[in-house]
Structure 1
Amino acid sequence: MKIVDVCAFYAPRGGGVKTYIEHKLREGPAREHEIVVIAPGKEDRIELRGPLARIVWMQSPIFPLDSNYRFFADRDRLHALLDAEAPDMVEVSSPWRSASIIAGWRGATPKALIAHADPLSAFAYRWFGGVADRPTIDKGFDWYWRHLRRIDRDFDLVVSASESLSARLREGGLTKVVTNPMGVEAGVFSPLHRDERLRADLLAQCGLPAEATLLLGVGRHSPEKRWEMVIGAATAAGGRAPVGLVLVGGGRTHRRTAKAIAGNPHIVALKPIADRPALARLMASADALIHGCEAETFCFAAAEGLASGLPLIVPDEGGASDQGRASAGYLYEASNPVAATEAILRFVRDRAAGVSRAYAEPRTMAAHFDALFAIYAQHVRRDERRRA
C-alpha cells in the first residue's frame, strides 16, 4: 500500500506525534508499504528517508499558539499534493483544520483519523471540572462533538489508542472508532536493566536509605500532566513512610514544578533523558512509576514503565488507566491528590509485604503497526471492490 499521512503536528522539535511518525517511517517500509508524510514546514522541500519513505514539507505559516509548529493554510495546494501522490490510504493526525481540509478532498481514497489527543480531557474537563460535571461540560462543548461527528461521517475510520478513549468517542456519537493500542520500542525497556547501585544512588540523592521506596515520574512539564499534584501526593506519603520521587522531564511549566518541590529533599528533578538505553536503565531501577495525567490517549511512559517491570500508580481515567487496570496497578481517582497519596501508600504497604506483580511481555510498536496496516488493507480491499 501507499499510505499518505497528512500530519499537521510533525515538526523538527515536535513531541509524541513526531516520535510516532518516526516509527511509522521505519515500520511501513519494513513491511513493503510506502509511507509519505505531508507536513507544514518553513519551505517546500522533500526529505527522503529511503526508497519507500519520505517527508513532503509544504511551506506554511507559523501556528499562532506555538511557534514550534506550523499549520496548513492552503487547502488547494494540499489537495493538489494528495492528487499527485495518489495514495491507497490517507491518514490525518489532527482532528482540527487538516481533518476538515481532507474531508473536502474529492479523492475517493479511504481516510483515517489517528486520535493522538483528547483535548476535552486535557483542557475543558481540567478547567471546568471543579464547577461542573462532565455531561454539563460536554453540553457546553457540543460544537467539538459535532465537529468530531462530521469527521466520523466523512472518514472511513477513527483509530484510537485506548479503550477508554474509544468508549468516550462512541458515547459522543462516533460510529467508526477502532481501538489499536500503541506499544513500546522493541528491545529497549526491560527489567533486566535494573541496577541496584543506581537505585541506591537515586535514593541517596533524595536523602533516603536504600530501604526506602523509589517512585519515578516521566513526562513533559505541562498543566495537564499534573506534576504538582504528584509532587504533593509524594510529599504527603513521605510524611508517613520513606518515599523518594525522581521526576524526569522538562517543559513550559518547569518553574511551577520546581516551586512545588520547594526544597523537599526527598524529590529530585532531572532534565529529559534523550539517551534511550540510559532512560531504560533508570526506569528499571525504580520501584514504581507514578503518573498524574488523565488526558493521555495511550501513555508511553506507562507502557515503558511496564516494560521495565514497574508497577503503575496512575489515575483511573485516560490511557494510563487502561494499562494500570490490565497490569493490576494502583489506580486512584483522577485529579484527587488525597487519593493519589493513598495509592502510593497502598503500594508501599504491598511492597513491604512482598506483594509483586507478575511481569508480562509488553506490546510493541511493531505489533501496533502490524494491526494498523492490516486494518488499512481491509479498507483498501473494500474500496477496490466498491470501485470494481
Structure 2
Amino acid sequence: MRIVDVCAFYTPAGGGVKTYVERKLQAGPPAGHEIVILAPGPEDKIEEVAPGAVIATIAAAPFPLDRNYHYFDDEGRLHAALDQWRPDLVEVASPWTSASMVGRWRGAAPRALIMHCDFLSAYPYRWLQGLFSIETIDRRLDWYWRHLRKLDRQFDFVVSASDDLTQRLRTGGVAKAQTIPMGVQPGIFSPDLRDEQLRREMLEQCDLPPEATLLVGLGRMAPEKRWPMICEAVLAAGSHHAVGLVLFGSGRDRARVIRATRGSPHIIVAPAITDRARLARMLASADALIHGCEAETFCMVAAEGAASGLPLILPDRGGAADHHRPGCGIRYAACDARDLGERLTAYLGEDLLAERRRAAALAPQVRLMDAHFSDLFAVYKRSVARAAA
C-alpha cells in the first residue's frame, strides 16, 4: 500500500522526528509499502531517497519560532497533493493545522493521527504548575480537548507511543487512542561500544578524576527540556559526590542553560552530536543518562541510553517514565528540582557499577524501531482492508 505521511514536524535539521522518518523510509519498502513523506518546506520538491521511499515538500511559510521548520499554510495545495499521490492510507504527525486539513480532505483513504507531541505537558502544564492542578488546567482548556475529540471522529485511529499519553487521551474522550511504542535504530547502540579512554577524556573536560561519576544528557536546548533543573540538581549532588555532567544539544535556550551551570567546571554544555556512531560511543562510555522532560511522547533519548547499557535518571511522568527499569536507575517527581537533587544525591552513593552491569545485560531487550513499524503497518493493513470491504 502507499502510505502518505503528512509530516509537519519534518526538517532535514530535525532531531527525533527526522530519525523516525528516515527509519520509516527504510522500513516501508521491504515490507511491501511505498512511503511518501509530505512535508512543508522552502520549495516544491520531490526527492526519491530509495525505490518506494519519497520525500515531497510543499512550499510553505517558515515557522516563526524556529526557522528550521515550515508549516502548512495552504489547505487547497495540501489537498491537491493528496489527490495527486492517491494514498491508500494517510498518516498525520501533528494534532494541529495539518490534522484539521487532512480531516477535511474529501479522499476516501483511512487516516491515522500520530501524537508526536504532547502540547499540554510541554506548555500549559509547565507554565501553570504550582498554580493549578492538571485537572483544573484540562477543564480550562476544554477547547483543546474538543479539538482532539473532533479529530478522533475524523480519523480512523490515534496512535500514541506511551501508555501515559494514551490513558490521558482516553480520559479526555479520544476513544480511538492506542499505544504503539517506538524504538531505537537497529545496529547503532550497544554497551559493547564502551570506551574507558573516552570516558576519562569527558571527565577530564569536567575537571574530574576517573573515579568520578559521568552523567550525560541529550536534547534540544528548549524550555520544556528543563536543562536548568538538571544543572541545579547536579550542582546539589556535587556537594556530596564527585559527579560530572556533559549536555549535548543546541537551541534557543542554550544561553540560559549555560547560566544555570553557575560557572561550574563540572558541567559541560557541548554542541549537538549529529554523527550517530559517535553518539553511540559517547552514550556507551557514560555512567548514566539523565533527562528532565516530562512532555516526551516516547523519549528516544532514554531508549537509546537503555540500548547503550546505561542506567536512566528519569521523571515519573510522560513517555520517558516508560523506560524505567528497576535496578537500572531512578525515577523522580517530574518538574521537582528538589526531589531530583535529593534522589540523585542518594543514588550516587549506591553501587553504580552493579547498576550499569544490570543495565548492560538488559540492553539487548530494548525495542527496535523496526518492531514499531511492523506493528504500525499491521494496523494500517487491517484498516485499508476494512475500507476496501
Asked if 1:363 is matched to 2:364, the reply is: no
CA contact (8 A) 2:11 2:69 kept: yes
For 2:218 and 2:64, the matched residues in 1 are separated by 28
Q: Are the structure 2 counterparts of residues 377 and 234 from structure 1 closer, same or farther at C-alpha, using a change threshold of 3 Å?
A: same
Q: Are the structure 2 counterparts of residues 352 and 27 from structure 1 closer, same or farther at C-alpha, using a change threshold of 3 Å?
A: closer
For 1:329 and 1:376, the matched residues in 2 are separated by 36
Question: 1:114-171: CA deviations, max 9, x gaps?
Answer: 1100011001011001211101111111111110110011100111011111111111
Q: Are the structure 2 counterparts of residues 114 and 326 from structure 1 closer, same or farther at C-alpha, using a change threshold of 3 Å?
A: farther
For 2:34 and 2:327, the matched residues in 1 are separated by 36
RMSD over aligned Cα, in angstroms? 1.6
Q: Are the structure 2 counterparts of residues 318 and 327 from structure 1 closer, same or farther at C-alpha, using a change threshold of 3 Å?
A: farther
Asked if 1:190 is matched to 2:194, the reply is: no
Alignment match of 1:381 (pick from 364, 374, 385) = 385
Tell me, what secondary structure is at the counterpart of 1:322?
helix
- Residue in 1 aligned with 2:110? 110
Q: Are the structure 2 counterparts of residues 61 and 202 from structure 1 closer, same or farther at C-alpha, using a change threshold of 3 Å?
A: closer
- Residue in 2 aligned with 1:139? 139
**Cα distance, 1:46 vs structure 2:** 1.3
**Cα distance, 1:266 vs structure 2:** 1.4
Q: Are the structure 2 counterparts of residues 353 and 95 from structure 1 closer, same or farther at C-alpha, using a change threshold of 3 Å?
A: closer
Greater mean deviation of Cα atoms: 13-22 or 366-375: 13-22
- Residue in 2 aligned with 1:68? 68
**Cα distance, 1:261 vs structure 2:** 0.9
Matched residues, percent identical? 55
**Cα distance, 1:94 vs structure 2:** 0.8
Tell me, what secondary structure is at the counterpart of 1:135?
helix
Q: Are the structure 2 counterparts of residues 297 and 327 from structure 1 closer, same or farther at C-alpha, using a change threshold of 3 Å?
A: farther
**Cα distance, 1:353 vs structure 2:** 8.1
- Residue in 2 aligned with 1:130? 130
Q: How does 1:197-216 map to 2 (within 5 A)?
A: 197-216=197-216
**Cα distance, 1:343 vs structure 2:** 2.4
- Residue in 2 aligned with 1:180? 180
For 1:97 and 1:300, the matched residues in 2 are separated by 25
- Residue in 1 aligned with 2:224? 224
For 1:66 and 1:267, the matched residues in 2 are separated by 27
- Residue in 2 aligned with 1:26? 26
Equivalent position amino acid for 1:296 in 2: E
- What's the TM-score once normalised by structure 2's chain length? 0.95
- Residue in 2 aligned with 1:3? 3
Equivalent position amino acid for 1:102 in 2: V
For 1:352 and 1:320, the matched residues in 2 are separated by 21
Tell me, what secondary structure is at the counterpart of 1:56?
strand
Q: How does 1:296-307 map to 2 (within 5 A)?
A: 296-307=296-307
**Cα distance, 1:352 vs structure 2:** 5.5
For 1:344 and 1:38, the matched residues in 2 are separated by 43
- Residue in 2 aligned with 1:309? 309
Question: 1:328-356: CA deviations, max 9, x gaps?
Answer: 53000001111111221232222258455
Question: 1:245-284: CA deviations, max 9, x gaps?
Answer: 1111111111011111122121122111111111111111
Please, which runs of 5 or more residues in structure 2 have no aligned partner? none
Tell me, what secondary structure is at the counterpart of 2:80?
helix
Equivalent position amino acid for 1:304 in 2: E
Tell me, what secondary structure is at the counterpart of 1:357?
helix
Q: Are the structure 2 counterparts of residues 352 and 148 from structure 1 closer, same or farther at C-alpha, using a change threshold of 3 Å?
A: closer
Q: Are the structure 2 counterparts of residues 42 and 265 from structure 1 closer, same or farther at C-alpha, using a change threshold of 3 Å?
A: closer
Tell me, what secondary structure is at the counterpart of 1:4?
strand
Q: Are the structure 2 counterparts of residues 137 and 314 from structure 1 closer, same or farther at C-alpha, using a change threshold of 3 Å?
A: same
**Cα distance, 1:13 vs structure 2:** 2.4
CA contact (8 A) 1:190 1:284 kept: yes
- Residue in 1 aligned with 2:290? 290
**Cα distance, 1:83 vs structure 2:** 1.8
Asked if 1:372 is matched to 2:376, the reply is: yes
- Residue in 1 aligned with 2:250? 250
- Residue in 1 aligned with 2:334? 334
For 2:385 and 2:329, the matched residues in 1 are separated by 40
The structure 1 segments of at least 4 consecutive aligned residues displaced by more than 3 Å after TM superposition are 325-329, 352-356
Tell me, what secondary structure is at the counterpart of 1:350?
coil
CA contact (8 A) 2:83 2:107 kept: yes
Asked if 1:157 is matched to 2:161, the reply is: no
**Cα distance, 1:11 vs structure 2:** 2.2
Question: 1:51-79: CA deviations, max 9, x gaps?
Answer: 21112222222233333222222222221
**Cα distance, 1:326 vs structure 2:** 7.0
For 2:77 and 2:270, the matched residues in 1 are separated by 44
**Cα distance, 1:4 vs structure 2:** 0.6
CA contact (8 A) 1:313 1:343 kept: no
For 2:178 and 2:304, the matched residues in 1 are separated by 23
Q: How many residues align?
A: 385
CA contact (8 A) 1:325 1:331 kept: no
CA contact (8 A) 2:310 2:328 kept: no
- Residue in 2 aligned with 1:347? 347
Question: 1:276-331: CA deviations, max 9, x gaps?
Answer: 11111111111110001000001111001000100110100011111115775300
For 2:42 and 2:244, the matched residues in 1 are separated by 44
